[in-house]
Structures are given as C-alpha cells and as structure tokens.
C-alpha cells in the first residue's frame, strides 16, 4: 500500500469535491444555468455578470471553474460561455428534470448542518446546533420552507419516481394513499403509469394547503388531499398505502406504530409500498445508503435499514408477505395483508 495514496485521496476530497458542490450550488442559485438556457446562445462573462448583478471578476472565475467541471462550455476565441446538455437538463430551474430545488435544499439546510455532524455522533447529539430543533421544525416553520422541501423531494421523483412505481405491478390497486407526499411528484408518476388509479395525499393541514396552491392544478381530479397526522388521525381508505422516504425519518418503534396503523386500515389483499435506499444485508453498501444514514443521524431520529430490518418492521406490524425489488437509487418494498 502506497502511504501517499490516502493523502492524495484526502486532498482530492478537500480541495476539489467539496468546492465542486459549492461552485455548482452557487452558479445555480445565481441563475447562471437558467440565463444561458433561456438565451440559447453564447455570452461573454461581462454580460452574464451584468444581467445577474454580480461582480465581473467573481463571475468570470465562477464561469471558468464551471467550464473546468464540465458544467458549462466556452469558446476561447471570443471568451464566450454557453450551457451544456447536462446543465440544461438538470441544473436549470426551468427544466422538467431540474435538480435545482434539491441542490438548494442541500446547500441551505443539509450543507450548513453538516457542521454539527461531530456533535450528532457524540453523546451530546446536537442537531442544527440546538438539541431542541430537528428537520421538521425547519421544514414546517413557514410556507416557503414547506414549498422548498416539497420541490426538493419532487426533484428525486422526476428522475426515479417512474422506476420505483414500476418495480411492482400496482394496477390492481386503484385507490392509493400517499402519506407525506406533499409535492405530489410521486402521485403524478403513479397516475401517469396507472391511468385507472387515483391518489390521495395524506399530510398535515398546513402542508395540504401549500400543496393545493403550488403543486397540483384544480383540473387534476385523480389527485386529492386528506388532512391529518398519520400517527394520530384516522387513515383514509385505500387499496395501497405509499411511504416514500418516510420510515427512514423514524426509529423502529415509530415505524412499527405507523405500519401497524396501516395494517389495520388495509383491506385483505391490500398493501403498503415503502420506498427507501436499502442497505445490503451485510451492510457492505451501497455508499448512498450509508451517506443517507449519516444525514438521518444529523437531521432526524431515523436511519437506513437492511432488508431483514424492514422485514422485521413489517412482521411486527402484522404483514405476512413482504417483497423487495432493487431499483436505480431508491428501492421498493411491498408488504401485503
């Protein structure tokens, strides 16, 4: 083993990977990718800086760095900058597959609070620099925060939603209830894939009010809403219940409590579809699951789990038939009554 290799790895992470993320977030937040997409042409750095209200020097350095990271392209003869297929598709806010809101949530919430990861691992268990606060305090403190979080979740479903909804044939579940699906992104993928289905979004009253205003048109009658707390209030009637990125927010006791409530609400033959990043049984990976689990340690009381751990949760709640299907990023677990 070359002792220089670890040093090189650390230097790459510290000097390049972390700055790369912040450069990408900054260019997106300032509107660089949207400006170049909307203009449809190459532009000099001075024009971009003037249009976006930034310093000329700072913008030129930001653009050159984005070119080096292959987020933008440049024609050196006239020093003109342009967008790439990647930036148009994923980094511009106006793109249907945009990851803009996910990046902004990560930049403004997750990135900031990674400063407290040491505290979260230590016995003190500080979160957001204040042990009395958690992720949900931040998400629900205003309509703007709720909207931003829902946009962030939708960014994932634009890319992975169809994949997880097609993991199992759900066509025999015409009445579906999505718990905590405020952004309606997964519900929209569901009704597109299964035209005979309807989806009820079950979420807190203030979240439902925000979702109706920003995420679904009044003409879309296949998506409806039900207000309530899914830990306390009656569960709406449905053939299938969806828990997409919900269980990883909670400890085992809360998960069993919620799954038990859903088991009681289920008709015979009904089911619960859980969507999460599932750890390998031997916990060897995937890396995405371990990184998500660290974020859950920092932001919530939950964690990512192995297949046997999910089987145990379903079994404790009364479900007898549980199936797992691996997907592109998020995996699908279907429990049947």
Tokens representing 236? 């709406």
**Side by side, which strands form the sheet with 72-75?**
43-44, 80-83, 72-75
Handedness of CA 246, 247, 251, 255 (dihedral sign): positive
Kindly calculate the radius of gyration of the chain based on its CA atoms and give it in whole angstroms: 22
Secondary-structure breakdown of the chain: helix, strand, coil percentages, each rounded to the nearest 5: 50, 15, 35
Q: Within a 13 Å sphere around the CA of 186, how many CA atoms are in the beta-carbon half?
A: 30
Asked if 56 and 46 count as a contact pair (C-beta separation under 8 A), the reply is: yes
Provide CB contacts within 8 A for 108, sequence distance 6+.
none
Token digits of residue 256: 């069993």
Say which residue the tokens 């653009």 belong to: 63
Q: Is 140 helix (H, G, I), strand (E, B) or coil?
A: coil
How would DSSP label each residue in 20-74?
Answer: HHHHHHHHHHHTHHHHHHHH-S-EEHHHHHHHHT--HHHHHHHHHHHHHTTSEEE
Half-sphere exposure of 199 (CA within 13 A, CB side): 29
Rounded-to-integer distance, Cα 267 and Cα 246, Å: 22
* Sequence-distant (≥ 6) Cβ neighbours of residue 336 within 8 angstroms: 269, 270, 271, 319, 320, 321, 322
Active-site pick, 101, 151, 226, 248: 248
Contact 158, 186 (CB under 8 A): no
Q: Is 208 exposed, middle or buried (0-12, 13-18, 19+ CB in 10 A)?
A: middle
DSSP assignment, residue 106? I
Using alpha carbons only, give the angle 206, 211, 215 rounded to the nearest 5 degrees: 165
Q: 248 an active-site residue?
A: yes
Residues acting as catalytic residues: 248
């Amino acid at each position: 083993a070359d002792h220089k290799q670890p040093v090189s790895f650390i230097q790459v992470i510290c000097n390049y990977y972390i700055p790369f993320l912040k450069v990408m977030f900054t260019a997106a937040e300032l509107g660089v990718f949207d400006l170049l997409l909307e203009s449809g042409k190459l532009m000099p750095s001075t024009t971009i800086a003037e249009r976006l209200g930034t310093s000329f020097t700072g913008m030129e350095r930001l653009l050159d760095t984005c070119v080096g990271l292959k987020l933008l392209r440049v024609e050196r003869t006239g020093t003109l900058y342009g967008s790439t297929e990647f930036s148009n598709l994923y980094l511009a806010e106006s793109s249907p597959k945009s990851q803009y809101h996910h990046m902004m949530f990560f930049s403004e919430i997750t990135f900031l609070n990674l400063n407290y990861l040491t505290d979260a691992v230590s016995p003190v268990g500080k979160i957001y620099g204040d042990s009395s606060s958690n992720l949900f305090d931040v998400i629900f403190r205003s309509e703007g925060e709720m909207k931003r979080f829902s946009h962030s979740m939708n960014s994932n479903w634009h890319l992975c939603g169809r994949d997880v909804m097609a993991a199992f044939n759900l066509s025999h579940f015409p009445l579906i209830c999505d718990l905590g699906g405020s952004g309606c992104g997964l519900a929209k993928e569901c009704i597109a894939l299964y035209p005979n289905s309807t989806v009820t979004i079950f979420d807190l009253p203030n979240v439902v009010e925000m979702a109706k205003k920003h995420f679904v048109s009044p003409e879309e009658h296949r998506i409806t809403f039900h207000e309530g707390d899914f830990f306390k209030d009656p569960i709406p009637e449905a053939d299938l219940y969806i828990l997409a990125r919900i269980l990883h927010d909670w400890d085992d006791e809360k998960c069993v409590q919620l799954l038990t409530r859903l088991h009681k609400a289920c008709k015979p033959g009904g089911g619960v579809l859980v969507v999460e990043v599932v750890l390998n049984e031997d916990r060897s990976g995937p890396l995405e699951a371990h990184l998500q689990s660290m974020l859950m340690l920092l932001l919530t009381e939950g964690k990512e789990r192995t297949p046997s751990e999910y089987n145990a949760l379903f079994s404790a709640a009364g479900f007898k038939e549980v199936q797992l299907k691996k997907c592109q990023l998020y995996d699908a677990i279907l429990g049947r009554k």
